[in-house]
Chain A
């Protein structure tokens, strides 16, 4: 075995495994928290780990792992239920009741830890940040890579890694068995109860699994950063897809990328940093940072729901509206011209467009797209005229416009001099078969409220 690999196995394998397992469990179950608008509930639950641990410790009088973790899980569920109780009893909104419950619980934990610090095995710092790097200290790597997969070495894995693996298994079984129930109760709790899936029971079961994931993970990443694992992968995946199954699979993949990427970025920092004195950075913090950056990138750049994409869509729509307005304008000029011929200059075609610089730019883009699409052709130096296909297009636009005017006057009883603006907006809407519906409804009036012929 090469020395590099030996080092990797001795130093990195266990922390990496723990980070990946924690990110997977939290990332998968976090989808439901994000869907149910309970992401901050993850935060509240994870804060209650501290009082849970310390109260269990004080009750037991000794630091034994599993009872203390059980105490933490109980505290997590109790926190979630208390939030609901306070919301109902004190008639507060969800956010405020969370703020009340988890801060008081956390304060209790901080105070108990601090005044018992000498004889307690609970360290507030460790609870806040986790101690993922320590995992390599409690594990003796086998001599070969193959040795990893022997029963003996799996049994010899650090306790945290074992419990994280168990947690991941529980999360997967839970999501797999109750996929349908979780889906329906997340999207529509009332409907779900009507369908015989008890939303309240599913809610508590979900809280229990979240508490379990948080408790298993906090030793690796700390109670605040575990929130990043709950929220970030699901938020990223939600920006990319509508389908729950795809979202869960994506979030699992993203959780893996986020945890391994964050871990390597933090631990390999001395190698990539220009500063020779650089040290390894806190990997849990780096994982969370990476998650946040990922969400920001997804929100900005996601192809369907991203802010950039929707800005682009809006821009395209405005250009289309402007280009259609230009065609309709030329058509109307042709109608009133005695010889049926109309040539307009650019400055006329961009008339009525707002004064702003971007509006002008968009109007020019619209003109270009009309010329390039063969709907307008240049006449002489400055002028533009309709081509045959442009005239066809313009005729249908003017037809829809005048049908709308007729419809608005007849069906909605608007005054004839009040309908032009509305029709200007509506003529561009083609979605959902609106114009064919309009054709059917309007019953072919022949002329519009202003006495103009409606072209066919």
Chain B
């Protein structure tokens, strides 16, 4: 990166000049508004609608420019252009609705058609504007990828105020939006006007999209509606926390992204903001407490270690029974026999050994596997669950006795004590007529 007139820290601490400060505050508010509106759009399954309608705004900008030049207004006034954008954004949503009405086209096909062909219309209109005297379209094309640095103070203030209004709208409609997002049918059965609430949500999406065009650009504005809520969703299940977190992530991304683009020459604001939000998403995906990759890898590893442990204990139990020995404290089994059912991968075996040791189930002395008191009862419990399940499969599902072992191998680890008790009751009646042991008690 080349040298910048002001350092990133200066800009982040709002020492980058008045205009930069205003623009950053505005993108912060935009991020917060888009994050909170986007959270509801995501939960309602309408994430990509923002993409379709954002692309559909391009012809609106062109048409607004043409109308303004025809009636002698300033054709580059952002408020006017964005009004055109809003009208065509709504039109785009309407077209998607019409195309899906026939039920032959799914919503995604309708969105792809509307998005691309309305953007195409916009490109055509821009190429026409280019030919007009004084129709230098540079100002219009910058809306496609966004350029916050080119925003004037007044525009930024307008954007900030509108974003604030959107955020307020979300707060006011919180209860209604929550209803349609979680159970639209229930809401309409209770007499809520779900159609009107959906319409209000779409209106909020349109507003956020349109005010974000100048800073983030048509192509990337949808990211502000999707990425922050998707990241927030990874952290929590409670709605108000998702909304607040998403607004926060959006705000920080808007703020930091605008600062980076002010500092790094030629850095497009939209790209910088989206990359900030994207970085938050990637980090969230890795470390979020329950849905994160690290957490689920850990869960999986613990499950596999538990399965390995239980297999080892059951193998030991079976080995002892085959030789008519008691499964009790201090019983000794050759290590190779005890660990034969454990996955043959050194790391897992090592984990399984540690886990047996730590839980005081068994310890390994030389080539022997020595059961502890706790281990003996655990081994009996797991063997019992296994055999009960085998019996159940034989009796009630009429699975051949030769085919019950491997399904029972899978299920034994998930049988709760209540279920074991129930299985016991179910097979108890026929216990007397059984061949062999009914399983250790």
Contacts and interface: CB of A to CB of B under 8 A. Distances in A.
Interface of A: 34, 37-43, 47, 86, 89-93, 95-100, 103-104, 106-108, 110-111, 114-115, 117, 124-125, 128-129, 224-228, 230-232, 234-235, 238-239, 266, 277-282, 284-293, 295-296, 299-300, 302, 305-307, 310
Nearest to A37: B106
B285 A90 contact: yes
B233 A92 contact: yes
A43 B1 contact: no
Contacts of B99: 235, 295-296, 299
A265 to B, nearest CB: 9
A281 B124 contact: yes
B123 A299 contact: no
B131 interface: yes
A282 B117 contact: no
A282 B109 contact: no
Contacts of B121: 285, 288-289, 292
A224 B218 CA distance: 12
Contact of A104 (B45, B102, B219, B278): B278
Interface in B123-143: 123-124, 126-128, 130-133, 141
A127 to B, nearest CB: 11
B268 A231 contact: no
B117 A235 contact: no
A446 B141 CA distance: 79
Contact of B115 (A86, A227, A279, A289): A227
B113 A231 contact: yes
B63 to A, nearest CB: 13
Interface in B281-336: 281, 285, 291, 293, 296
Of A34, A266, A285, A287, chain B has the most CB atoms within 10 Å of the CB of A285
B398 interface: no
Interface of B: 1, 42, 45-48, 50-51, 55, 95, 98-99, 101-106, 108-124, 126-128, 130-133, 141, 144-145, 219-220, 222-223, 225-227, 229-230, 233-234, 264-268, 270-272, 274-275, 277-278, 281, 285, 291, 293, 296
A227 B112 contact: yes
Contacts of A228: 113, 116-117, 120
A234 B272 CA distance: 36
Nearest to B103: A305
A360 to B, nearest CB: 27
A296 to B, nearest CB: 7
Contacts of A307: 98, 101-102
8 contacts: A34-B109, A96-B230, A107-B220, A111-B271, A225-B116, A279-B131, A285-B127, A288-B120
Contacts of B101: 299, 307
Given A39-B112, A104-B227, A292 B233 contact: no
A266 B133 CA distance: 20
A113 to B, nearest CB: 9
B226 A103 contact: yes
Contacts of A111: 267-268, 271-272, 275
Given A103-B222, A110-B145, A293-B117, A40 B268 contact: no
B103 to A, nearest CB: 8
A282 B102 contact: no
A289 B132 CA distance: 21
A399 B431 CA distance: 64
Contact of B118 (A40, A47, A103, A292): A292
A287 B120 contact: yes
Given A103-B226, A277-B132, A281-B124, 15 more contacts: A37-B108, A42-B112, A43-B51, A96-B48, A99-B225, A103-B278, A104-B227, A115-B266, A129-B123, A225-B120, A279-B130, A291-B113, A292-B114, A296-B98, A299-B98
A284 B278 CA distance: 31
Nearest to B121: A289
Complex A-B, nearest 10 residue pairs according to Cβ-Cβ distance, in ascending order = A292-B117, A288-B120, A285-B123, A103-B223, A99-B226, A107-B274, A228-B116, A104-B278, A39-B112, A279-B131
Contacts of B226: 96, 99-100, 103
B234 A305 contact: no
Nearest to B120: A288
The DSSP consensus for interface residues of chain B is helix
A110 B271 contact: yes
A299 B98 CA distance: 8
B278 A89 contact: no
Contacts of A106: 219-220, 274
Contacts of B266: 114-115, 117
A128 B141 CA distance: 11
A439 to B, nearest CB: 33
Of A117, A235, A280, A300, chain B has the most CB atoms within 10 Å of the CB of A235
A454 B227 CA distance: 67
Contacts of B296: 89
Contacts of B223: 99-100, 103-104, 107
Contact of A224 (B130, B131, B219, B275): B219
Given A282-B124, A292-B120, A235 B267 contact: no
Nearest to B52: A40
B285 A284 contact: no
Contacts of A282: 123-124, 126-127
Contact of B112 (A104, A117, A230, A277): A230
B47 A93 contact: yes
Contact of B109 (A90, A235, A290, A305): A235
Nearest to B122: A285
Of B98, B104, B123, B278, chain A has the most CB atoms within 10 Å of the CB of B123
A110 B131 contact: no
Given A111-B275, A292-B118, A95 B98 contact: no
Contact of A98 (B48, B98, B118, B132): B48
Contacts of A277: 131-133
Contact of B124 (A41, A99, A117, A266): A266
A223 B296 CA distance: 36
B142 to A, nearest CB: 11
Contacts of B119: 224-225, 285, 288
Contacts of B278: 100, 103-104, 107-108
Of B219, B227, B270, chain A has the most CB atoms within 10 Å of the CB of B219
B113 A232 contact: yes
A92 B223 CA distance: 15
A299 B285 CA distance: 41
Contacts of A224: 55, 115-116, 119-120, 219
Contacts of A234: 109
A409 B351 CA distance: 70
B112 to A, nearest CB: 4
B45 A100 contact: no
Contacts of A110: 145, 220, 268, 270-271
B218 to A, nearest CB: 9
